[in-house]
Amino acid sequence: YTLPIAQARLAYKASVGAMELPRAQVARVHDFAIPGPAGSMQARLWADSHEPGLPVLLYLHGGGFVIGDIDTCEAMCRNVAKQSGAAVVAVNYRLAPEHKYPAGLQDAWAAFQWLAEHGHTQGLDGSRLAVSGDSAGGTLSASVALLARDAGIPLALQALIYPSVQTRSATESFKAFSRDTLLSAELMAWFEAQTRGDALPHAWHREPLHAPDHAGVAPAWIGLAECDALTDEGHHYAQKLRDAGVPVEVRQWPGVIHDFINMGRFMPEAAELHAELAAQLKKAFQA
């Protein structure tokens, strides 16, 4: 948060590259474009099979809506594709401050709709869709799941990895783990300052915890880190979904910090989460 935006993006990409697990070899890697509300978006598909009609996970990278891209989630997407048998598609949605929120959500939603309607052009089964993301990508995923419900588009699973789902109150985990950690209060404030644009059409587009109704949204799996400012938000969102009758599973990894999924060279828990997400996808797509 002390760096210029361009340097911050390069620094994050370099740090992920140094810490991520080795990238699994998969049978298919394909770059293509998805039309979005502000022009075409770069997309990348990973699959360990050339079979047609694969179910597909739309993965939305983290980075506070400011940093991160397809490359910073590639190791995880490859691992999940390898282990799940599903195709994984990630997109470079628009980032702040050049594009204030909800530009990123508009792009994520456009990508989801395109996969549902045109995924067959990439050999995918648009009727078997899941959405997932970490941190800011978890926020986007939760909001996309709500939009999918409202649009009547089937969604097999929303897999939220330490999502940010509200900004109105300081939770106990925020108080405990927002100092001298990777996701500090200063960094979160910087992300939010870059991201906030004009008044959102609906506040819940940034804070899905405060959506007026969660009934009928897709089943959820939520993966959390114990030593993370956002841990309580994940639990609060899980409870909000349960209260609305939505099936929810939560797994919290003890002793790890925010962004641990990208630290597989040092933290075995990263590989555990990748494997758990793959297993959840298999189960959801078989249902």
Residues 6+ apart with CB under 8 A from 86: 47, 54, 55, 56, 57, 80, 130, 281, 282, 285
Q: What is the distance between the alpha carbons of residues 137 and 163, in angstroms, rounded to a whole number?
A: 7
Asked whether residue 199 carries a pLDDT value surpassing 70, the answer given is no
Beta strand pairing call for 157-161 and 39-47:
unpaired
User: How confident is the model at residue 200, as a pLDDT?
Assistant: 65
Helix (H, G, I), strand (E, B) or coil at 57: strand
Of the given ranges (64-78, 185-199, 212-226), which has the lowest mean pLDDT? 185-199
Active site residue 243: no
User: Tell me: the pLDDT tens digits for 207-218?
Assistant: 999 999 999 999
* Angle at which helices 136-151 and 103-118 cross, to 10°: 50
Locate the domains of the chain by residue range. 5-286
How would residue 203 be classed by pLDDT, with cut points 50, 70 and 90? confident
Q: Pick from 124, 107, 112, 113: which is nearest to 38 by CA?
A: 107
Q: Which member of 48, 69, 228, 232 is catalytic?
A: 228
Asked whether residue 198 carries a pLDDT value surpassing 70, the answer given is no
User: How confident is the model at residue 150, as a pLDDT?
Assistant: 98
User: How confident is the model at residue 86, as a pLDDT?
Assistant: 98
How would residue 196 be classed by pLDDT, with cut points 50, 70 and 90? confident
User: How confident is the model at residue 245, as a pLDDT?
Assistant: 98
Active site residue 228: yes
User: How confident is the model at residue 206, as a pLDDT?
Assistant: 93
- Please identify, in words, the CATH class of the domain defined by 5-286: alpha beta
Q: Which member of 132, 135, 143, 178 is catalytic?
A: 135
Here the tokens at position 96 are 């702040």
User: Tell me: the pLDDT tens digits for 215-229?
Assistant: 999 999 999 999 999
Q: What's the whole-number average pLDDT of the chain?
A: 96
Mean pLDDT, residues 100-126 taken together: 97
Q: What is the pTM of this model?
A: 0.97
Asked whether residue 197 carries a pLDDT value surpassing 90, the answer given is no
User: How confident is the model at residue 202, as a pLDDT?
Assistant: 73
